[in-house]
Amino acid sequence: MINFKSGRFRGIPLISLCLLWTFISFTPTYHLPPFSLEIAQWTIPLVKYSFLFPIFFLAGAIAFQKRKVEFQFWDAVIGAYFLISFLSLWGSELPGKGFAKATYHVMTALGVFFLAQRAFHDFRQVRIFIEFSVGIATIVAIYGIYEFLTNSNPIFGDFYVNYNRYYNGPDRASSSLGNPVVLGTYLVICLPFAMGQIREPGKSKWVHRRRGFSLGILCLALVFTQTRGAWFAAMLIFFSYWKIGKDPYKGKNWLEWVLVCVLIFLFLQPFFNLSVDIWNIHWVKRILLERIENIAILDQAKVYRFEQYKIVFSILKENPLLGLGFGQYTSLLGEYKTSSLPDIGVRTTDNMYLMILAETGTAGISAFLVFFGGIFKHIWENSPEKISGNWPAICQAFLFGFLAHMLFWDGLNHPNIRIGFWIMMGVVVFVMKNGKSQVAESQFLLRCEAKG
């Protein structure tokens, strides 16, 4: 009989988590007609719900390991938020649809968060997962850079053009995720962990160079997404990491690798039929200056956002405690929209906090904010003696960056982003709960590295 508690099978949950990360990195999840099931008035997107299979596999791997399961404060608070989500359906207009959506979100958010905390046996496995996830993100970023520079998407392009209504061509990097905003948010999730890797002990200088190269690639791809919310989040990540980190950028030469990555792609023109003249300053102006200048212009997208904000507050006046009901906003928007709301094909608030406020009211947003407030409080109270190295800086930068980006997009409604975020939240909580044991382990690794 196989003993899944033995050392030989101890890494099965970690492998399962790596498979889940790979799945979300290479699977576009917008509504794709060839992979949808029509039942009466219901449309079931099969690609979207395929995420449940690797999650069930991860749950099975942890169950076979018979790992100790303890409910923590974090589990209770975020669980309370989802309980409120179900309660908000009481008296809603579409309770069946809301219940199905709330159940799916529980599995792909609370379930992933709960499982990710328990997928690791020790900090060595955490480091392995971070190396793996940043490596996968680097591959996704390289493909996005190639897509932008060559104005082609040879793997996914035809598929997106035919079936993805949100795909506007490769003028902005979208890579395997099919949307530049999704790619930008995905890179924001990975960026602080790529930065933190550089300060981790490595066996050779080539390990540090590879890590620096990955960070440079992620930054370059982030620029090519032309996603302003992601740019703002990245700047906040760098600032936050610098403020709390211990010599966060000293001696690792990460900046030179950012510049090296830029130079590599500047000299690709002789080998690729690039769609942009990289020696022409106008394409740089189009990417950077025009996107930044448009912030000050009251364009259609901003009018849309402002009108959505008005709708949210009118909903809150009618349903202050529990809102419209979880998963109801996009379906019931027509009852609240006015003639001044432009039709740009989007039916969400482009602000995660207002989306939560509209659908679950003040009760839901309170539980959501208490959860992250508790996480921040724990990070600030833990000195480097309790959580070694730059882990406090990594955790804080990750949370600051992502939560700031959610001011400009309701990313947690997107399966790839939701699952990826809650996986990394599991990593953050595991690090905080096991900080003391990490101190001794990190000091040992640093001594080994010093000895050569």
Q: Is 387 within a domain?
A: yes
- 450 has a pLDDT exceeding 60: no
For residues 420 and 247, the model is more confident at 420
- 399 has a pLDDT exceeding 50: yes
State the pLDDT confidence band at 375, using cuts at 50, 70 and 90: confident
pTM assigned to the model: 0.84
Q: Is 62 within a domain?
A: no
CA–CA dist 433, 72 (Å, integer): 10
State the pLDDT confidence band at 246, using cuts at 50, 70 and 90: low
CA–CA dist 338, 216 (Å, integer): 45
- 421 has a pLDDT exceeding 90: yes
* Residue pair 346/340 in contact by the 8 Å Cβ criterion: no
Tokens at residue 275, please? 């769609």
Residue 170 is predicted with a pLDDT of 61
Least confident of 178-187, 403-412, 431-440: 431-440
Residue 1 is predicted with a pLDDT of 32
Q: Is 32 within a domain?
A: no
pLDDT mean over 180-196: 92
- 223 has a pLDDT exceeding 60: yes
Q: Is 169 within a domain?
A: yes
- 363 has a pLDDT exceeding 80: yes
For residues 312 and 244, the model is more confident at 312
CA–CA dist 401, 236 (Å, integer): 6
Tokens at residue 336, please? 């609240």
- Residue ranges in 267-351 assigned as alpha helix (H): 281-284, 290-293, 300-318, 329-332
State the pLDDT confidence band at 188, using cuts at 50, 70 and 90: very high
For 274, the domain range is 71-451
- 217 has a pLDDT exceeding 60: yes
pLDDT over 90 percentage in the chain:
14
- 189 has a pLDDT exceeding 90: yes
Residue 396 is predicted with a pLDDT of 86
- Per-residue burial over 191-226, b if 16 or more Cβ lie within 10 Å, else e, is bbbbbbbbbbbbeeeeebbbbbbbbbbbbbbbbbbb
State the pLDDT confidence band at 425, using cuts at 50, 70 and 90: very high
pLDDT mean over 146-151: 81
| Number of domain units in the chain | 1
Q: Is 23 within a domain?
A: no
pLDDT mean over 244-271: 54
- 3-state secondary structure string, 180-197? HHHHHHHHHHHHHHHHHH
* Residue pair 108/415 in contact by the 8 Å Cβ criterion: yes
Q: Is 288 within a domain?
A: yes
pLDDT digits (tens, 9 = 90+) for 81-135: 888 888 888 878 888 888 888 888 888 888 899 888 888 888 888 989 999 999 9
Q: Is 64 within a domain?
A: no
- 20 has a pLDDT exceeding 90: yes
Q: Is 7 within a domain?
A: no
Residue 287 is predicted with a pLDDT of 59
Residue 440 is predicted with a pLDDT of 47
Tokens at residue 49, please? 């719900």
State the pLDDT confidence band at 300, using cuts at 50, 70 and 90: low
Residue 244 is predicted with a pLDDT of 65
Grouping H, G, I as helix, E, B as strand and the rest as coil, residue 165 is: coil
Tokens at residue 251, please? 């001696």
